[in-house]
Amino acid sequence: MNSPDRRAFHDEPADRYHLLYADRDAGIARRGRALDALLTASPGPGPHRVLDNACGIGTRVLGLAAQAVRAALAETPRVLSAGRPA
């Protein structure tokens, strides 16, 4: 799959992400707690740094940041803009 096709694959559903994540804030908090528990279990207590590549609308990164994890993300601009609150 060449680069423009890969970008289109990820960008195409971006306008419908709100249908998947009806309660965005609760989903962010839930993912953050779950991922922080995994990080604490292995590799152990933090501080942790995480890179979420192809992060979608960023719910994992936002949740981790709320748990004091240093988190960075990478995604196409269209997908990231779909994740901004209205």
- Give per-residue pLDDT as tens, 1-50: 556 677 777 677 777 777 776 788 888 899 899 999 999 998 888 889 99
CB 31 within 8 A of CB 60: yes
- Give per-residue pLDDT as tens, 46-80: 889 999 988 877 888 989 999 999 998 888 888 77
User: 36: Cβ–Cβ under 8 A, 6 or more apart, which residues?
Assistant: 64, 67, 69
